[in-house]
Chain A
Amino acid sequence: MPPNNALDRLLLRAEIEDWLLAEADLLDARRFRDWLALLHPDVRVAMPIARNLSPGLLEREERTQAGRDLMWVDEGYATLEQRVRQLETGVHWAEEPASRITRIVAGIRLLEVEGDRVLAGCRFVLHRNRLEDETDVLIGRRRDTLLREGEVWRLLRREVLLDQSVLQAKNLTMFL
């Protein structure tokens, strides 16, 4: 049920905030199997490419479109699970030895609440340090759709809006 008073809304936001922060903990701790368990089987993760355009075009085409255009990432559970298996092989050289990642997820807001479905917005800073001096900082915003199934929430949709147009990291072997 959608929250019908301020207190319910606050409690729901706290619950979603906890979920998103716990998810960040799992990913940074490289507990990828546990993270997969948070995903809905129909999950879609989309990370469009940002473009530099004139004002008129910018409004319509600032980012590439999921399901149609080139993206950084546009995938469902099967591919996400393949990525986890690749990380588990121990010979995925881009992440062996493992990178150290810390993400800060902040500014969490509930944008839409409809029955057992919540659309939450947040901002993230992801810092990756690798080997000796390789450092990447990825900053952007996310829109996450979570679905309540009984007592648990599962991620159904994730849209990742990265600030960079020309990606300054050599790869995207992390989950954003």
Chain B
Amino acid sequence: MAEGMDFAGLVDLGAGTVERAAFTDPAIFAAEQERIFARAWLFLGHESQIPEPEDFFTSRMGTESVIVARDRDGQVHALLNSCTHRGMKVCRHDYGKAKVFTCPYHGWSFSNDGRLAGVPGALVGVPHFDKAYRAELRREDWGLSRAPRLALYKGTIWASWDQRAPDFLDYLGDMHRYLDYALDARDGSPGGSRTVAGVQKWRVNCNWKFAPENFIGDMYHDISHRSVDMVGIGPAGGRGRRAAFRPRLAIGFPGRGHGLLGELPTTETEPYNDAWALYPEVNDWHRAAHEARMARLAGQPRVAMSVGTIFPNMSFHGRQPRTIAVAHPVSPTVTEIWRWCLEDAAAPEAVNEAARSYFLRYSGPGGMTESDDMENWSYATTASQGPIARRRPYNYQMGMGHARPAPGLREAVECGELTEENARIFHGRWADFMRGTPWPMQVPHAAE
């Protein structure tokens, strides 16, 4: 991979195009790992997966495995899951409880506890340290790599490998209002959500960027879901895949790469629309929660949203069905998607069961809606790889030049409902990262 090569030119915001190589080329994929996944804030999981001290789960940052561990003081750490001796995974379990991770290859062991060993991930055990290493190994230099930046936000866990990355809340900007909508309880009390136990993980033969670009606000891909709309699977009953909400705006954060479909803080909140009408008891609970939220946040800016993406690869549904989807890169043409379902910790069982079963028929590989997305993403990837196909860039021209500042939000724009503005914002930020300039990445935006 050519060090210092400028891949930013693949994105032409002036023309509204992105070269197909960005979705297929191995050298570009390798550069993405260094320039994006080793520097951006990445979503790792949820604190409800590790409620107790010494709980851990394994997650991914880019192509690499990480251990997310809570130490005995309750602090959460992200450790690279690769032994510093010969690279073996020191943990091959999805989750569990451990004080120490011992490599099954030569037996080096690493503590997850900063108090015991000085730093989390410290090398605490080396077989034959005295006899074979003659006590000369500098153990303090050979701990597991630890993500220097880690943030907990309303139960979600995020990390970055770049010490210089901005604070997580700065990274989010006002996008936090929309993430809040997904993570707060339905009655508006802060936090209050947890994940349903279990994570769906599956491989799709597509470039990873198809997922975040789709979730960031692509109302144009309606034809993808025609079949499920004809059947009707929403909990309100009738046709369509969700309850009917009034038209949403594509709202994006150009300097950050985030975006969503939703409402502005200046928009008056819609009255409850019987979104769960098929389940009267559940519908009553949601109506009461909605009214409680309106009362709690009376006079304050409040937002609603359906789907969004936090750059680079964390996407979420804030309303129906409430989920988190992370597109982990595996290769230029293979992505591993991880999927969580969010529910209110305080909601009655019937409410959470309705949400869980709606998630299962909507989302993930068994979901009637998303199975069609994955057909499109995978064959778009396949058909973009040839030399002739790569002569033409992808077209992102819809709504170019029509974005307006978004009232009530800092450093945000809105561009109506049907637009590719948010995809342009995503790829513009991708280009910023791909220039490889260090944080704070004060980069000029390409002229639009």
| Contact status A70-B200, CB under 8 Å | yes
Partner of A93 from B196, B199, B203, B227 at Cβ < 8 Å? B227
Chain B residues near A86 (CB, 8 Å)? 227-228, 230-231, 368
In the bound complex, residues from chain B placing their C-beta under 8 Å from that of A82 are 231-233, 361, 368
Return chain A residues, CB-CB under 8 Å to B199: 49, 70
Cα–Cα, bound, A47→B198 (Å): 13
Query: A168 to B196, Cβ gap below 8 A?
Result: no
Q: Are A172 and B233 in contact (CB under 8 A)?
A: no
Check if A72 is an interface residue, CB within 8 A of chain B. yes
- Are B201 and A167 in contact, CB atoms less than 8 angstroms apart? yes
Enumerate B224-255 residues with CB–CB distance to A below 8 Å: 224, 226-228, 230-233
Query: Which residues of A101-138 are within 8 A (CB) of B?
Result: 131, 134
Contact of A166 with B by CB under 8 A: yes
- Segment 77-95 of A: residues with Cβ below 8 Å from B: 79, 82-83, 85-86, 89-94
Q: Does B266 belong to the interface (CB within 8 Å)?
A: no
The answer to whether A72 touches B233, judged by C-beta atoms less than 8 angstroms apart, is no
Whole-angstrom CA separation of A92 from B373 in the bound complex: 10
User: Is A25 among interface residues, defined by CB-CB distance under 8 A?
Assistant: no
Q: Which of A74, A79, A167, A170 contacts B205 (CB under 8 A)?
A: A170
| Interface contact B94-A170, CB-CB below 8 Å | no
Q: Name B336's contact: one of A49, A52, A64, A166 (CB within 8 Å).
A: A166
The residue on A at minimum CB distance from B224 is A93
Distance, CA A114 to CA B370, complexed state (A):
40
A49 closest partner in B (C-beta): B198
B93 at the interface (CB under 8 A from A): yes
Contact of A167 with B203 in the complex, beta carbons under 8 Å: yes
A16 to chain B minimum Cβ distance, whole angstroms, is 27
By a beta-carbon cutoff of 8 Å, the part of chain B in contact with chain A is: 92-96, 196-205, 224, 226-228, 230-233, 336, 339-341, 353, 356-357, 359-361, 364-366, 368, 370-372, 374-376, 378-379
Q: List 14 A-B contacts (CB under 8 A).
A: A52-B92, A75-B360, A79-B361, A82-B232, A85-B230, A91-B230, A92-B227, A92-B228, A93-B375, A134-B205, A168-B202, A171-B370, A171-B371, A172-B371
Given known contacts A75-B361, A89-B231, A167-B203, what 17 new A-B pairs fall within 8 Å (CB)? A49-B198, A53-B96, A68-B356, A69-B197, A70-B339, A71-B198, A82-B233, A86-B227, A91-B227, A93-B227, A94-B371, A134-B205, A165-B201, A166-B336, A171-B366, A171-B370, A172-B366
| A residues whose Cβ falls under 8 Å from a Cβ of B | 47, 49, 51-54, 57, 64-65, 67-75, 79, 82-83, 85-86, 89-94, 131, 134, 165-173
